[in-house]
Chain A
Amino acid sequence: MRIEEKKKYSEQQIPNPAKVGQHIDSEEIEAISPWKDTAKQLRKNRFAIIGFVIILFFIVLGLAAPLVTSYSVEEQQLVNRLHPPSEEHWLGTDHLGRDIFTRIAYGARVSLQVGFFAVTGALFFGTLLGIIAGYFGRWVDMVISRIFDILLAFPSILLAIAIVAILGASLQNALIAIAIINIPIFGRLVRSRVISLREEEYIMAAKAQGMKNGRIILHHILPNSVAPIIVQATLGFGTAILEAAALGFLGLGVQPPVPEWGQMLADARDFIQLAPWTLLAPGISIMLVVLGFNLIGDGLRDALDPKMKN
């Protein structure tokens, strides 16, 4: 054992002279793009994989809803109300006799849709404003940053309620409200990233080449700010779904009889002692989706942040 170790050590110390300098460069060396590297890191992260599996499960469930269940979402069978989980009704039935599994499956569509559109909207406008504020600075930055501050000064759910109250309760308006309350989160993130990037020497180099602002922003600043935006978007997906559920719970989101997890929770609240499964199913679904997105987000952050690399 000892001798082996010693041998190993000496081999490391004295490199084979024939090989010196040869391994460093050859035509076969593959170009390693930063994105490939990230994907490789991500594949190694077990929790991120679990997150992907969870989200994939709900996406498939939502897409294949008509295939996995033969019950109708809306049809009420009052005879069968509040049945506990059984072979016929996997997750039981609710207070109107509707199959809960069916409603969870269709509800996945609504939740993922809300998450996707709210995050996309917030991401687009947040990034746009953040880049403008960070890159141009001065009074432009002042104005945009103060708008962000005003939006952040309100508790987010209260602001969402106010926006929905103004626009009227519907899925679309809930979506807009959630997008608006998330804009400053993306905006501030991008702004701070752009401000630090602006001082980077390769941005000065781009300027020295004679590039226009638009090109510097699109080709140099944006690709280098993508990492934190992706992480925030993934984490924001979870929050958006949670916020949509909260609005649904308050009756300000999707209107019945369209199935929505938050609203299902609100309906089940009255039967918590009588039929706890009506509450558990949507509750656990929300938890799992949010957890899934958070796991992916954490994994992405580790994979994209060079400081975390070993």
Chain B
Amino acid sequence: MRQQLQKPLLEINGLKKYFPIKGGVLGRTVGEVKAVDDVSFTVFEGEILGIVGESGCGKSTTGKAILRLIEPTAGEVKFEDQDITHINAEEMRRLRRDMQIIFQDPYASLNPRHTVEKIIGEPLLIHGVKNAKERTSRVKELLEVVGLSAYHASRYPHQFSGGQRQRIGIARALANNPKLIICDEPVSALDVSVQAQILNLMEALRDEFNLTYIFIAHDLSVVKHISDRVGVMYLGRMVELTSKDKLYDDAKHPYTQALLSAVPDPDPDIEKERVILKGDVPSPADPPAGCAFHTRCPMAMDICKSVRPAFIPVEDNHFVACHLYDGQQQNLSRINGL
């Protein structure tokens, strides 16, 4: 397994993002939406870590909080052993060269008044490539790398299709040879046929430029296709994190099991055991006490209502936050995952 041989690139400890709810005449804070509530995980160099979950579970917020595009409320984000949550704006600005993001909506993430050349060239300019000729040739090179043509450089975003725009977004993220790219649902706005092209492109780029991805998605099959390890989020918390194969074959957490049982199978003759969850996802403004999932969990016990389960390894490289596995905690060193 490649990630065990390599060192951690990004370590996230107890990341929290609470959005205040303002109310009343005076606009006082009357509550908090716990979008990300104490999430911890590690990303190893060269791996693709998938994060899945329903909409509103905090996966995008997690991605943006890691890059401090949304300031985290609490927690630690260590990039190459440096805690970046408290460095000043200028240091953060320089570090952004190594940490990039690809956005979900290729129609909204490109400035409509800039040419492709300016869109891809701007990150080069601000990080020190002052020579215009050098920039132009690099832009053309990047366009070819992502499967577009050099002559596209003079056009405007509205002249491209969704898939092409997403390629432009990828080229922009690649411009300064970053180490980490957070992919915030990069294919969910695209047609299925185009999705595959973009996913294959991203995989090829990872191998070519030795990139590390955090791949956020709500589509389980997309995540299965691209990821090395997968984390499952529910209501602002990470409930399970393990390698792709283990997750899809041997899910431990009842929520993951329910989620996987909902994936349609192309063979109509296969009888699947379908776990149907009752009720709705509780409001993140008022999450249930104890385990956030206990209100819908088919296997809920008394302890689930009062004690929040710790996110612990139950097997080698298999983290679960569930009381069902309380006794099985492996006595593994924390290096293995957390």
Contacts and interface: CB of A to CB of B under 8 A. Distances in A.
A204 interface: yes
Interface in A179-231: 200-202, 204-212, 215, 219-220, 223-224
Interface residues of A, number: 23
Give the dominant DSSP class at B's interface.
loop
Given A202-B109, A204-B69, A224-B113, A210 B155 contact: no
A215 B123 CA distance: 11
Contacts of A206: 111, 122
Interface in B160-187: 169, 172
B96 interface: yes
A29 interface: yes
A210 B172 contact: no
A34 B113 CA distance: 6
B125 to A, nearest CB: 9
A210 B127 contact: yes
A5 interface: no
Contact of B94 (A200, A205, A210): A210
Nearest to B154: A31
Contacts of B20: none
A33 interface: yes
A206 B96 CA distance: 11
B212 interface: no
A88 interface: no
B122 A219 contact: yes
A202 B159 contact: no
B101 A208 contact: yes
Nearest to A33: B156
A34 B126 contact: no
B61 interface: no
Contacts of B215: none
Contacts of A1: none
Given A210-B93, A210-B96, A32 B156 contact: yes
Instruction: List the 4 closest A-B pairs by CB distance, nearest first.
Output: A210-B96, A201-B108, A209-B123, A201-B109
Interface of A: 27, 29, 31-34, 200-202, 204-212, 215, 219-220, 223-224
17 contacts: A32-B158, A33-B115, A33-B156, A34-B156, A201-B105, A201-B108, A204-B103, A204-B109, A205-B172, A208-B69, A208-B100, A209-B122, A209-B123, A209-B172, A210-B123, A211-B93, A224-B112
Given A33-B115, A34-B158, A205-B169, 7 more contacts: A204-B103, A205-B103, A209-B96, A209-B126, A210-B95, A219-B114, A224-B111
